[in-house]
Amino acid sequence: MSYGFQVSIDAADPHAQADWWADALGWEVEPQDADFIRDMVAKGFATEDQTIVHDGQLRWREGVAIRSEGRPRVLFQLVPEAKTVKNRVHFDVQVGQDNVEAEVERLTARGASFSHRGQQGPHSWVTMTDPEGNEFCVT
């Protein structure tokens, strides 16, 4: 039997991270149902401080996901502590060798930072960090 999975990423600002990664990957931020959220607050199952208005929409404060058809969902979840050490898991953004430099430039303009270049045999990559300092590679 096989199982589905999602990737969960800790974040200081899950909504900003979801926006950034959705743009970086060409994915979409998963919609949240504002009427359902209001209903949960009205019925006492949630409180106002568990919500946030982001880009004019009522959302759950704790997290938001991005998605793309046929790919695992990526959830960004609120955590109180800042990132302090290297990631144990990271994204490899596969754009094709002919597109790496343009993508590095585009992502840098959107708030990513260059870290270093790597190569193993014929394979090369550029390691970068997203706006919260999470490492990822462009290959």
3-state SS of the chain: helix, strand, coil percent to 5?
25, 35, 40
In 3D space, the residue among 35, 105, 32 whose CA is nearest the CA of residue 62 turns out to be 32
CB atoms within 10 A of CB 3: 4
With a cut of 90, say whether residue 120 has pLDDT above it: yes
Distance in angstroms (rounded) separating the CA atoms of residues 32 and 85: 32
pLDDT band for 106, please (50, 70, 90 cuts): very high
Q: What is the pLDDT of residues 42-90, one digit of tens each?
A: 999 999 999 999 999 999 999 999 999 999 999 999 999 988 888 888 9
pLDDT reported for residue 51: 98
Q: Which pLDDT tens digit goes with each residue over 14-35?
A: 999 999 999 999 999 999 999 9
Name the pTM for this structure: 0.89
How confident is residue 99, by pLDDT bands cut at 50, 70 and 90?
A: very high
